[in-house]
Every structure is written in C-alpha cells, then in structure tokens.
Amino acid sequence: MPEITKFCEVEERMKKRILLCIIAVLCVSLLAGVKAEAAGVSDYGALKVSGTQLTSTRTGGAAVLRGVSTHGINWDVGYPYISKEAFSTLQDDYGVNAIRLAMYTTEYFGYCDKAGAGESQGEVQAKLKERIDTGVKAATELDMYVIIDWHVLNDQNPNKYKKEAKAFFREMSKKYAGQDNVLYEICNEPNGGTTWSDITKYANEVIPVIRENDSDAVIIVGTPTWSQDVDVAAEKPLSFDNVMYTLHFYAATHKDSYRQKLQTALNKGLPVMVTEFGVSEASGDGNLDTAEAKKWLDLLDENGISYFAWSLSNKSESSALLKSGTSKKSGWGSGDLSKAGKWVFNQYKTRNGLDNIAAPGKVTGLKVKNVKGRKLKVSWKAAADADGYQILYSANKKFKNAKRKTVTSCSVKISKLKRNKTYYVKLRAYKKSEAGKKFGKYSGVKKIKIKK
C-alpha cells in the first residue's frame, strides 16, 4: 500500500506539471499572436520586456509602438521637424505613438566628431542635447514615447566612442529617469565587420551606466551588419532585464532571408524591436517595394513587434516621408507626402484602426472668461459622440508653441497665465477606441486678454 500511495502521488504531481506546461505554452502562443493597438503613455504607462514582447506595466498586456524616426537631428533635413506641431500631426492624422530622435555620432555636426562644422565640439554637443530635450518635451506633452538614439553608422564599431557614449547616457538617464516614456537605443547600426562580441563588450559597459540612474527603462541594442543579425544575437543574448534587440530592414533589399533571421531570433526567445525600416532600397534611396514592405509589417504585427519608419524628412531620397522641396514643418496634407510617406501613413492609419472610427462632431458654443489669479475658464457645448476634448491655447494667434490640455468635461480652468497677455483658444472633440483617438474638427478661435 505505501508503494501504491507514493506512486499515485508522483503521478498526480506529474499531471499538474504537464498541465502547467500546457497552460504556459498556450499563454506564450496567445501573446505572440496578439495584435496590440498603438496607444499612448497614459494608456500603457511605463514599458517593460516580457519574453519576446514589449508590454505595459499598467495593463499587463502587450504594447506596440508604431513610430517614426527623424533623419539626423544634426542637419536641416532632421531637426526642423522636432516640434510639438510636427509630432501632433503624426499622432492625430496617422496614430503614431512614438518618435525616434536619431543623433549621428560622426559626420558633419556629429556628437563625437563634428567634421567640418565651424562650432567647437562642445558647442555641437550642447546644441544636439538641446534638440533632444526639445523632442523629449514635445513627445511627453503629447503622451507619446520617445527613443534617444545614439546613431552609430560611419564610426562602425560602437567601442570607438565608448567613453563618450557612457558620459552621454549617464547624463540622459539622470535627466529623464523620472519619465515613463523615454527609451534608449545605445548603438544604431554596427557594421564594417563589428561582431556581436564587440557589441556585447560595449553594451556591458554602457547599460550599467543607464541602470545607475534608471533601473527599469527599456534599452535597445543594435546587432551586427547594420542591425540585421538578430539571429546571431539570439545565440548569446545579454544578461540584463528590459533589453530589446534591433532589426532594421529596407523592403526593396531585405526580403525573405531577413524575415527568416527575425523568425529564428523569436523562436529562440529574443525580444526584437524594429527601430528603423524603409520601403526603399538599403541605401535609403532607389526603388520602392510596397509588396515586400507589407509582408514585413504583417509579420511584425502578427508578433506584436514595434516599428519605426525612416524618416521624417524632406531630403531628396525615396525613403523620406515628405516630398522633396516641401516647406511645411507640420500639418502636412497628402500633397506634401512622398510616395513612401503616402504608403507608410496609409498603412499606419489602417493598422491603427483609424479608418474604422467615425470622427466626433465639431465643438460649438466656445466661451472664454478671465478668472482672478491669472486663470482662464473655458467652456463649450458637448459635441456628438465625443469621449473627451483637447484644448489648445497660446499667446500666438497662429498657435505657435501652443499648450494642450485633455479633459472629459465641457469646461476647464487654465492657470499660470501671464498678465496683460492676449491668449488664443480653440478645441476639438475626440472619440476613443482600442485603436486610439479619432479627432474631430477644431472649433472657432476665441481670444482674451488676461487682466486679473
């Protein structure tokens, strides 16, 4: 009898273990197949890495970033688009929920090698950090995520400027440690024979510098061969938590064999983020291949992988999302977009579900009133099918540097205004779904001088 009882107990434990394994496999399968919708910081909260997925600390579920990368913020094809107005256009019209700030470390005005720039290296660094701060603030005010990208390219091996990288990320992580929306990409595209062992050596020194100030921020690490060899990184991943690995693709060049690299990495449990993709050839120029690009985005969505389009620029190359010669810095219409831009943003609208959400009605009955204490009371009539409202106010009648407030009621008080200044106010309603926010048309503009 004792032997039979012992056997039964063992058998029961084995059944429980098998059942737990089956449940775990099912959970992983369901998570891998989930099609997460792009949402904002107020929805997801801080991000973390769980298995191969980027996840929300607020909901516990999968999170996905459908973002746009600037071109190099070192140059006039990149930095003019670092603004709340530009980011707001991407967010409102296409459901973009994240921005990547690409800062080149070398070439003209490079952070580590300024090349032919007339300014001193210190002046170059100060200006680039100022541009990063402008971008982080704009993204934060808009409830968007933002990647600070150490854009290794012509320097090839990230160890070349490792000392400078450590100082930079120590400063950045200290400055933004309290923010849930900031991610760090520590080496963009290692190349020129740089090995995974080289990158590992670099990452093992840079990541602890960030962790000294921010123990939880998501850190993104480039992989060999212009960030394509995620399968190689999967053989020996880093030993840190909350780390993802970068895959870059340009659809007219990188096809099935590169998608297989991604699948191999995922099968081995490697968390991947596509911090840069283009519809063009790998040079960033040349032919577009939308059929291959669609295969890529379908695969990424099937696996809940975040991705960022290259690039928010009017540069005369086919990967630029804006038409060459376009002078507008925000508020782009279809005629301002390049062929690549039209395709990418139409994909974003569809994949974010914005095509399927009816816009709410236009806000009417807008009233503004000066309240004692340099405050402004704004009220309006409820719009049809509205879940909330976004108020814009500025001391500039063209709403330059406008501030935003989001509320669900039909009135709001705005404080900390400047006495004897005239403020301009307008607002619009939004309708919310799992896909994000669909905005209605703006109301008329009201102006008022702050006297009290």
Half-sphere exposure of 77 (CA within 13 A, CB side): 21
Calculate the CA dihedral of residues 36, 37, 39, 45 and round it to 10 degrees: -10
First-to-last CA distance in the chain?
91
Task: Answer whether 225's CB lies under 8 Å from 245's CB.
Answer: no
Query: What does the DSSP 8-state code read for residue 38?
Result: B
Residue 157: partners with Cβ closer than 8 Å, 6 or more residues away: 190, 192, 194, 198
Give catalytic residue positions: 189, 276
Enumerate the β-bridge partners of residue 308: 67
Q: What is the DSSP string of 107-169?
A: STT-SS--TT-SS-HHHHHHHHHHHHHHHHHHHHHTT-EEEEEEE-STT-SGGGGHHHHHHHH
Query: Across 152-254, where does the E strand assignment appear?
Result: 182-185, 219-221, 243-250
* Cα–Cα distance measured from residue 411 to residue 407, given in angstroms and rounded to the nearest whole number: 8
